A and B are shown apart, each in its own frame.
Chain A
Amino acid sequence: MACRVFLVSFLLLLAASPAISTNSEGAVLRALKARLSDPSNVLQSWDASLVNPCTWFHVTCDAHNRVIRLDLGNSNVSGPLAPELGHLQDLQYLELYGNNFEGRIPEELGNLKSLISMDLYGNRLEGGIPKSFAKLKSLRFLRLNNNKLSGSIPRELVTLSNLKIFDVSNNDLCGTIPIDGPFATFPLQSFDNNSRLNGPELQGLVPYDFGC
Chain B
Amino acid sequence: MESRLFQNLLSTLLLLLLLPFLLAMGSASLASQGRALLQWKASLQSQGLSLQSWKPSASPCNWTGVTCNVTRRGLRVITEIYLSNTSLVGTLDALNFSALPSLTNLNLSFNQLDGTIPPTIATLFKMSSLDLTSNQLTGKIPFEIGSMRRLQFLNLSENQISGSIPPSLANLSRLNYLLLYGNSLSGTIPEELGRLRNLVFLKLADNLLTGFIPPSLGNLTRLYKLALYDNKLSGTIPQELGNLASLVKLVISNNSLTGSIPSSLANLTMLSMLYLYNNNLTGTVPRSFDNLRNLTDVRLFNNSFSGSLPAFKNLVFLDLLGNNFSGYLPPELCSGGMLQHLVVSYNNFEGPTPRSLRNCSSLTRVRMERNQLSGNISESLGVYPYLNYIDLSFNQFSGNLSAKWGKCANITSLRISNNKITGKIPPEIGQLAQLRVLDLSSNFLVGEIPKNASMLVSLYQLNLSNNKLSGEVPKDIGKLSNLEILDLSKNNLSGRVPEKLGDCFKLRLLKLSSNNLNGNIPFQIGNPVNLLDLLDMSHNSLTGDIPSQISKLVILQDLNLSHNELSGLVPPSLRDMISLLSIDLSYNELEGPLPDSQFIRRSPIEWFAHNKGLCGEVQGLPPCHTFSTSKAGSAKHHKVVLLATVPVVGTLFLLFLFGGATFLLLRRRNNTVQDASQKMEGGAFSIWNFDGKDAYEDIIQSSPAKWQDSCCQKD
Contact residues of A with B, CB < 8 Å?
45, 51, 55, 57-58, 71, 73-74, 95, 97-98, 117, 119, 140-141, 143, 164-165, 185, 187
Is B484 close to A, CB under 8 A? yes
Whether A165 contacts B578 by the Cβ 8 Å rule is yes
Question: A73 to B509, alpha carbons, bound, how many Å?
Answer: 13
Q: Which residues of A contact B436 (CB under 8 A)?
A: 45, 57
Whether A98 contacts B579 by the Cβ 8 Å rule is no
Q: Which residues of A contact B291 (CB under 8 A)?
A: none
Q: Is the interface of A mostly helix, strand, loop or mixed?
A: loop
List the B residue with the shortest CB-CB distance to A165: B579
Q: Contact string, B451-476, partner A, CB cutoff 8 A, digits 1/0?
A: 00000000010000000000000000
Q: Which residues of B contact A187 (CB under 8 A)?
A: 578
Whether A51 contacts B301 by the Cβ 8 Å rule is yes
Whether A98 contacts B530 by the Cβ 8 Å rule is yes
Q: Which residues of B contact A57 (CB under 8 A)?
A: 412-413, 436-437, 460
Q: Which residues of B contact A95 (CB under 8 A)?
A: 508, 532
Q: A45-B412, A57-B436, A164-B579 are in contact. Are A74 and B505 (CB under 8 A)?
A: yes
Question: A187 to B554, alpha carbons, bound, how many Å?
Answer: 13
Q: Which residues of A contact B277 (CB under 8 A)?
A: 51
Q: Name the 5 nearest CB pairs between A and B, nearest first.
A: A74-B506, A57-B436, A165-B579, A73-B530, A165-B578
18 contacts between A and B (CB under 8 A): A45-B413, A45-B436, A51-B301, A55-B389, A57-B412, A57-B436, A57-B460, A71-B508, A73-B506, A74-B530, A95-B508, A119-B555, A140-B581, A141-B555, A141-B579, A165-B578, A165-B579, A185-B598
List the A residue with the shortest CB-CB distance to B506: A74
B547-606 contacts to A, CB under 8 A, are 555, 578-579, 581, 598
Q: How near does chain B come to A78, taking the closest CB pair, in angstroms?
A: 18
List the A residue with the shortest CB-CB distance to B301: A51
Q: How near does chain A come to B322, taking the closest CB pair, in angstroms?
A: 10
Question: A35 to B413, alpha carbons, bound, how many Å?
Answer: 26
Q: Contact string, B493-519, partner A, CB cutoff 8 A, digits 1/0?
A: 000000000000110100000000000
Question: A140 to B530, alpha carbons, bound, how many Å?
Answer: 17
Q: Which residues of B contact A119 (CB under 8 A)?
A: 532, 555
Q: Which residues of B contact A71 (CB under 8 A)?
A: 484, 508
Q: Which residues of A contact B412 (CB under 8 A)?
A: 45, 57
Question: A188 to B484, alpha carbons, bound, how many Å?
Answer: 30
List the B residue with the shortest CB-CB distance to A122: B530
Whether A97 contacts B508 by the Cβ 8 Å rule is no
15 more A-B residue pairs beyond the given contacts A55-B391, A73-B506, with a C-beta to C-beta distance below 8 A: A45-B436, A55-B367, A57-B413, A57-B436, A57-B460, A58-B460, A73-B530, A74-B505, A74-B530, A97-B530, A141-B555, A143-B555, A164-B578, A164-B579, A187-B578
Q: Which residues of B contact A51 (CB under 8 A)?
A: 277, 301
Question: A95 to B485, alpha carbons, bound, how many Å?
Answer: 14
Q: Which residues of B contact A45 (CB under 8 A)?
A: 412-413, 436
Q: Contact string, B426-453, partner A, CB cutoff 8 A, digits 1/0?
A: 0000000000110000000000000000
Q: Which residues of A contact B598 (CB under 8 A)?
A: 185
B519-536 contacts to A, CB under 8 A, are 530, 532
B243-284 contacts to A, CB under 8 A, are 277
Question: A140 to B437, alpha carbons, bound, how many Å?
Answer: 29
Question: A105 to B66, alpha carbons, bound, how many Å?
Answer: 49
Q: How near does chain B come to A96, taking the closest CB pair, in angstroms?
A: 12
Q: How near does chain A come to B231, taking the closest CB pair, in angstroms?
A: 14
Question: A79 to B103, alpha carbons, bound, how many Å?
Answer: 48
Question: A45 to B530, alpha carbons, bound, how many Å?
Answer: 23
Q: Which residues of B contact A140 (CB under 8 A)?
A: 581
Q: How near does chain B come to A197, taking the closest CB pair, in angstroms?
A: 20
Question: A131 to B474, alpha carbons, bound, how many Å?
Answer: 48
Whether B508 contacts A73 by the Cβ 8 Å rule is yes
Question: A78 to B367, alpha carbons, bound, how many Å?
Answer: 32
Question: A117 to B391, alpha carbons, bound, how many Å?
Answer: 30
Question: A57 to B413, alpha carbons, bound, how many Å?
Answer: 9
List the A residue with the shortest CB-CB distance to B580: A164
Q: How near does chain B come to A20, taking the closest CB pair, in angstroms?
A: 15
